Chains A and B, each alone.
Chain A
Amino acid sequence: MDKTLVLRPERCTGCHSCEMVCSLTHDGECNLNLSRIGVMKTNGGGTNENIPVVCQQCNDAICADVCIMGAISRDEATGALLVNEDLCVGCKTCVVACPLGGVLYHYVKKCAMKCDLCGGDPECVKSCLYGALDYLPLDSWGWRQRRKGSENLGQLFEVVYGK
């Protein structure tokens, strides 16, 4: 894994263009139900925030562990966890197990779907006009961005939930 998706909630405007581009790229139609990435809107504690949520490609991935067909495996080139749609039987165990909602159920293909980082060139990043999404190398700079992102998220949570 040499690059990673960076999410910057503080820049997200909630325009959903990433979702539309995601479903368009993968399934050929703009359908928010077929989008691997999702933007959540919070309104509480005096803030109105949009938080993009997408699979984090965990190191210790529970979706891959619970898959009864061994259909979720890591792509060595991009570091993304990929669903092998030929193997997947659509049992939804991975959907059930992921705490983030990173794996979704593709109701047309009847199998699991998740972010595949578009094979190393994520379309959602290109579609984001506000710089809320970025695809950065996982070197020190990438980590720095990640840490910064997490600090922002931490501040956001403080505002939303209080200390």
Chain B
Amino acid sequence: MAKSKVAVIGNGIAGFSSASTIKRLDDGSDVTVFSEESVPLYSACVLPNYISGSISRERVFVRDLEDYKRLGLRTIFGCTVKEIDRVAKKVFTSDGQIFSFDKLVFATGSEAVLFGERKKGIFKLKSLKDADDLLAHKGRRAVVVGSGAIGLEVAIALHLKGYKVAVIEMLESLLPMALDKHGAEKVREIIEGQGIEVYLGESATVVVGGESVQGLVTSRRSLECDTLIWAVGMRPRVTLARELGLKLGEKGGIRVDSHMETSFPGIYACGDCVETDDMFTGAPSLNLFWHNANRQGAIAARNCIGLRRAYPGSQNILNVDLFGNHVVGFGHTETAMRRSCHKNGDDPTDLSVIEKEEVDRYFRIVLFKDRCVGAQFINVEKDLGLVLNIMSLRKELKSIQRVFDKRTSISQKGWLGRINPLFLSGK
């Protein structure tokens, strides 16, 4: 049998995970990894820690170039893939090289959403280069637009570096994708208590300044700044896929089946660029998280070499540390569920919430039709895995509650015991 040639486009976690899995399971295959960046795999999730200075630049890297050699992966780093011919099965790079392939894995990832023109002092945070640029820039007053996990983490990192930081959020609460109003209010108290300004319900309208940024005008006020960071979200990078004619989903990602195969047989996609079914609700969604990309990469790789393996769905797990406060969000918020109820014509009275607050601890569980679809925790550190598993299984809460109703108390480190009040206090 001839060596099967696999081209992996992208060297994020999805690309690396698929390339290394293919090589591990099928040693004879010839795997080539294409990447625009010329650095080995690094973790974009810890870039805020790098900016704040809590970890060094070397620690951002997850693998080094030696690892690629050891795994036997061919690397074409530092050049863009210009075109793909799926009939002739060839990849054309921008510097004129041509590679043929039998199977192709798309792992092009995502890109930060930007508005307005580019000026000196305007940054995003997606790649290591962005972080390096931000560190090279010396500023004193920063405005962060967007209050997702990246926005808040960058705001905190810059605050720790001595910047005066303001966060602008278009919606009415912080971390809008992960927390409902009450939890978000607690987060706001934490953030503001440390001296970061928070402006909610305001949208950025005009960026002031000539060559370099001097301020930002929002819908309610004007803020002076020398550093502006766009953290309004990520979107899948699908330009290449669109040119190739791959079917895109309703959310804008590459649509894949449960085996991570795109609309063209033999072409797989994984990572931030794909749209998959949500594990908690089953609806198509973009869940641009590290762990999803990691799993999708491994599953795409298995299917690529003929080992059929289905993808169980994406999980939305947000985990941020805000000045020592551990904020965790699983799945969907009540607000988001209400919106989707309205869209799908479901009855919003099926939604219910279990909520509890003790001093600085807080949790909220969102239930829809007796199934757990979302959970939010602040400073609750134990038993979260159990809730996550219950959510992933999509089991009816009744069946789980039957177990908990049997009045069992567990005295020490009780993962069952501590979850117990959580289910008994609700319905």
Contact = CB atoms under 8 A, between A and B. Distances in A.
Interface in A125-148: none
Interface in B363-384: 381-384
A44 B417 CA distance: 11
Counting chain A residues whose Cβ lies within 8 A of the other chain, the interface size class is 20 to 34
Nearest to B402: A161
A46 B385 CA distance: 28
A43 interface: yes
Given A89-B49, A89-B55, A161 B403 contact: yes
B385 A38 contact: no
B408 A42 contact: yes
Contact of A92 (B62, B326, B410): B326
Contacts of A69: 43, 45-46, 62
Contact of A105 (B328, B381, B383, B416): B381
B386 interface: yes
B406 A45 contact: yes
B409 A43 contact: yes
Interface string B167-195: 00000000000000000000000000000
Interface string A77-111: 00000000011010111011111110001000000
Contacts of A162: 406
B409 A44 contact: yes
A91 B409 contact: no
B412 A40 contact: yes
B389 interface: yes
B406 A161 contact: yes
A70 interface: yes
Given A65-B291, A70-B43, A89-B59, A95 B381 contact: yes
Nearest to A100: B385
Interface string B273-308: 000000000000000001100110000000000000
A160 interface: yes
Contacts of B41: 70
Most interface-central of A41, A53, A70, A87 (chain B CB within 10 A)? A70
Nearest to B44: A68
Interface string B390-427: 00000000000001001111111111100000000000
Contact of A97 (B13, B63, B385, B413): B385
Contacts of A101: 382-383, 385, 413, 415
Contacts of B406: 44-45, 160-162
Contacts, number: 105
A18 interface: no
Contacts of B229: none
A44 B291 contact: no
Given A69-B46, A87-B59, A44 B408 contact: yes
A24 interface: no
A66 interface: yes
A40 B410 contact: yes
B85 interface: no
Given A40-B412, A44-B406, A89-B59, A99 B388 contact: yes
A39 interface: yes
B385 A42 contact: no
Interface string B199-230: 00000000000000000000000000000000
A51 to B, nearest CB: 9
B408 A68 contact: no
A98 B63 contact: no
A86 B63 CA distance: 13
Contacts of A67: 291
Contact of A66 (B46, B49, B290, B410): B290
B290 A68 contact: yes
B412 A96 contact: no
B384 A87 contact: no
B314 to A, nearest CB: 12
Nearest to A39: B412
B221 to A, nearest CB: 34
B321 interface: yes
Interface string B36-79: 00000101011001000001000100110000000000000000
A39 B295 CA distance: 32
Interface of A: 38-45, 53, 62, 65-70, 86-87, 89, 91-93, 95-101, 105, 160-162
22 contacts: A40-B410, A40-B414, A42-B410, A43-B408, A65-B291, A68-B45, A69-B43, A70-B41, A70-B63, A89-B59, A92-B321, A93-B319, A95-B385, A96-B328, A96-B385, A97-B291, A97-B384, A99-B385, A99-B386, A99-B388, A100-B385, A101-B415
